[in-house]
Chain A
Amino acid sequence: MASTTVESGAAGHGAEPRGKRSEDGQATYLIAVAEALWEEMERDERVIMLGEDIGVYGGAFKVTEGFLERFGPDRVMDTPIAEETIVGFAVGAAMEGWRPIAEFQYSDFMSSGFDEITTVLSRYHYRSGVRTPVVLRAPSGGGVRASSFHSVNPEPWFAYAGGIKIMCPAFPSDAKGLLKSAIRDDNPSLFLEHKALYRRIKEHVSEDPAALIPISSAAVKRPGDDVTIVTYGAMVHKALEAADTLAGRGISAEVVDLRTVYPIDEETVIRSIEKTSRALVLYESFHFLGIGAEVASVIAEKAFEHLDAPVMRLAPPNHPVPFSPPLEDAFLPQVADIEAAVDRLSAW
């Protein structure tokens, strides 16, 4: 087939994600993801991508627009609607030396490939020592009125499996650096991109193709002294907004962004609790058994001596994400809910 060669690395060429930064050079979360994929595809010929509608269509969210033209159908594959085989394929190819990135159109559809993910991908290395450097990536999370089949936070399902590193970045620069790290890591990874953040936030993101964010490293996104809010994903931004309001009330909240939700960076979390002695764990995965339940447990066990109040959690309940806007807003923690929780925690 015809192949158009595009000069890579040069900004301004329409097919390349980097050309899609804003005029002042900022990248949205989505463009940051695209840049990571593009740079890693250029850097290592063994990196391949597969998924439904990622080639010709450029991806349901247009993350992979331009990739087929640049890298060809051998490396950017449109697949049948067969999630089990998408994952299995990635494993088989990885076992033969490739570094596949398999996309799920929505994280909700990962459950269609549940067996291959939890039985094959997460276990193969432990059982046999054969490496399966597969990256699964998907748009994830709610708050966009997409209802229960397009809004799930699947990270607890797969954290439970135990052999997959799971990342949920909240900022564009973290998204780019973490995805690059995941692609270069020899272990299976799950990279969840919060769809509510795709186009809503942007920032200056490194243009250095060698700039990485380490996996399993949390970051303090806002320092504070009175209360720690441990969180990840879209909730980080709500926490920051709440922290601004709380500061006006004289409560100084520190916001810790986990960035990687399995395995978590316990040390950064505990260091924060040592400072503030009060913890609110805020998470969008469901309350019971969601990621925050584990974080709360770690704090209670390993930072017990530093606590001045019980560890509190704020998360949606374990039922489907509803559609109607007032219902979904009541379902997800809002900024006011975060403020109220911090107030309760401070008054304890």
Chain B
Amino acid sequence: MRSDATANDRPLPDERLRDMLYMLKLARFVDERLEALYRQGRLPGAIYSGRGQEGTHVGTVFALEPRDSLFPTHRDLTAQLAKGLDLNRVLAQFWGRIDGYLRGRDGNSHIGDWDGNRTYAVMSHLPIAYPVAVGAAWAYQRAGDGRVALAICGDGATSNGRWHEAINWSAVQRLPVIWVVNNNQFAYSTPNEKEFAVPTIAERAAAYGIPGVRVDGADVLEVFAAARDAVERARGGGGPSLIESVSLRWRGHAGHDPAKYVPTELLEHYMRSKDPVKNFEERLRDLGIVDDAAIAEMQARVEQAFEEAHAYALASPFPEPGDVDKGVWAEDGYWTSEPGRGGGTEAG
């Protein structure tokens, strides 16, 4: 089932559309730079590229309000940036510095900012945040304030028991939650046909009694339109929805993975014709919303933002080693006070 939202070329004000493009370009640039730094050995830890899936991430999150909550996975850094996370503090987390959102207690895209931007701190198990989204959605229903929860997972996570438990429960209680599946067609090395026996994920929604749509992740406005529908349904008390956004994972599962299992022709096709960033830029050019100068300016802003964030991260000190055991219990006050800014910095 495809949404026909693309019939509406301007679902948002121009300013908003330019914001969308900026976010897409920022996401792409961050992804490329982090990969380069990782390959140079200057980025500690791991990277999980979302390249090629920016349409899913930006399209869905732009349908949310700041008061709504987001439950992402390790691949959805773009979604977190779109939700409002500060790139400075995001990169500080990548480099394990005290000014990262989690004070060095976790790294790279295992990030979240609940108190500020209402995003759940990513965990590796899949899709472990889905049951938590159920509880949050219940809280919004209970409060009756119209807030919604949006949870993203990958195609592989749909095989896990939690996926079914959470969607089922949300349907039983008609909770205000949007279940997004970022179907980038490969779960590490496992293609869709080895992950599930039905042709699409979207049609499985019927098994739970909720609506499901399948959209083209290369078209950010198509994604946005489906997400907006689902959000409105949820806000209005109409219960949960499932959105399957199809793209391709351009890079390996993680930085170390060359992804030779992805057929070359498929990858070339997607990079050529299904690049959500390039497609949207062309779209906005066609609509006259941006021109070369605007694009250049946007790109410059993107690069500067990254460089500033990179410098910020490297200038932020490491956490105090002596604080390692603090913050287990609420009463020790570690998280309600300024943290120790411990052992020096280190060039990245």
User: Taking the complex as a whole, does A directly touch B, i.e. does some CB pair lie under 8 Å apart?
Assistant: yes
**Which A residues fall within an 8 A CB radius of B?**
74, 79-80, 82, 84-85, 87-98, 100, 115-116, 119-120, 124-131, 162-163, 186-187
Stretch from B184-192, B257-265, B325-333 contacting the other chain: B325-333
- B329 nearest CB neighbor, chain A only: A187
Stretch from B16-24, B138-146, B309-317 contacting the other chain: B138-146
Contacts of B169 in A (CB 8 A): 79-80, 82, 85, 89
Is B112 in the interface zone, CB < 8 Å from A? Answer: yes
Is B4 in the interface zone, CB < 8 Å from A? Answer: no
In the assembled complex, 20 residue pairs joining A and B whose CB atoms fall closer than 8 Å, in A order, are: A80-B169, A80-B172, A84-B131, A88-B162, A88-B166, A89-B138, A91-B135, A92-B131, A96-B143, A100-B135, A116-B128, A119-B123, A125-B327, A125-B329, A127-B106, A128-B121, A129-B336, A163-B329, A187-B329, A187-B331
CB distance from A188 to the nearest CB of B (A): 10
Is B335 in the interface zone, CB < 8 Å from A? Answer: yes
The 7 closest A-B pairs by CB, nearest first: A88-B131, A92-B135, A129-B335, A96-B139, A89-B135, A92-B136, A82-B165
* Interchain CB contact (< 8 A) of A128 among B114, B139, B166: B114
Q: Are A92 and B139 in contact (CB under 8 A)?
A: yes
Q: Are B331 and A96 in contact (CB under 8 A)?
A: no
User: Would you give the 0/1 interface string for B86-130, flagging 1 where the beta carbon is closer than 8 Å to chain A?
Assistant: 000000000000000111011000001011000001010100111
Q: Are B115 and A130 in contact (CB under 8 A)?
A: yes
**Which B residues fall within an 8 A CB radius of A?**
101-103, 105-106, 112, 114-115, 121, 123, 125, 128-140, 142-143, 149, 161-162, 165-166, 168-169, 172, 327-331, 334-336
Q: Are A91 and B105 in contact (CB under 8 A)?
A: no
Other A-B pairs, 18, CB within 8 Å; known A84-B165, A89-B138, A129-B103:
A85-B166, A85-B169, A88-B128, A88-B134, A88-B162, A92-B136, A95-B114, A95-B135, A96-B143, A97-B139, A100-B135, A120-B129, A125-B329, A128-B101, A128-B102, A128-B112, A129-B115, A130-B121
The binding surface of chain A is classed by DSSP as helix
CB distance from A230 to the nearest CB of B (A): 23
Contacts of B134 in A (CB 8 A): 85, 88-89, 92
CB distance from A32 to the nearest CB of B (A): 26
Contacts of B140 in A (CB 8 A): 96
- A81 nearest CB neighbor, chain B only: B165
Q: Are A85 and B328 in contact (CB under 8 A)?
A: no
A126 vs B323: C-alpha distance in the bound complex, in angstroms?
Answer: 11
A175 vs B152: C-alpha distance in the bound complex, in angstroms?
Answer: 41
- A102 nearest CB neighbor, chain B only: B135
Contacts of B131 in A (CB 8 A): 82, 84-85, 87-89, 91-92, 116
Q: Are A186 and B135 in contact (CB under 8 A)?
A: no
CB distance from A337 to the nearest CB of B (A): 36
Q: Are B330 and A128 in contact (CB under 8 A)?
A: no
Given known contacts A84-B165, A85-B166, A89-B134, A125 and B102 CB-to-CB distance under 8 angstroms: no
- A185 nearest CB neighbor, chain B only: B330
- B123 nearest CB neighbor, chain A only: A119
Contacts of B136 in A (CB 8 A): 92-93, 95-96
- A79 nearest CB neighbor, chain B only: B169
Q: Are B138 and A126 in contact (CB under 8 A)?
A: no
Contacts of B336 in A (CB 8 A): 129
Q: Are B121 and A127 in contact (CB under 8 A)?
A: yes
A74 vs B142: C-alpha distance in the bound complex, in angstroms?
Answer: 8
- A116 nearest CB neighbor, chain B only: B131
Interface centre among B135, B328, B329, B335 (most CB of A within 10 A): B135
Q: Are B102 and A127 in contact (CB under 8 A)?
A: yes
Q: Are B128 and A163 in contact (CB under 8 A)?
A: no
CB distance from B89 to the nearest CB of A (A): 13
Q: Are A127 and B135 in contact (CB under 8 A)?
A: no
Q: Are B142 and A186 in contact (CB under 8 A)?
A: no
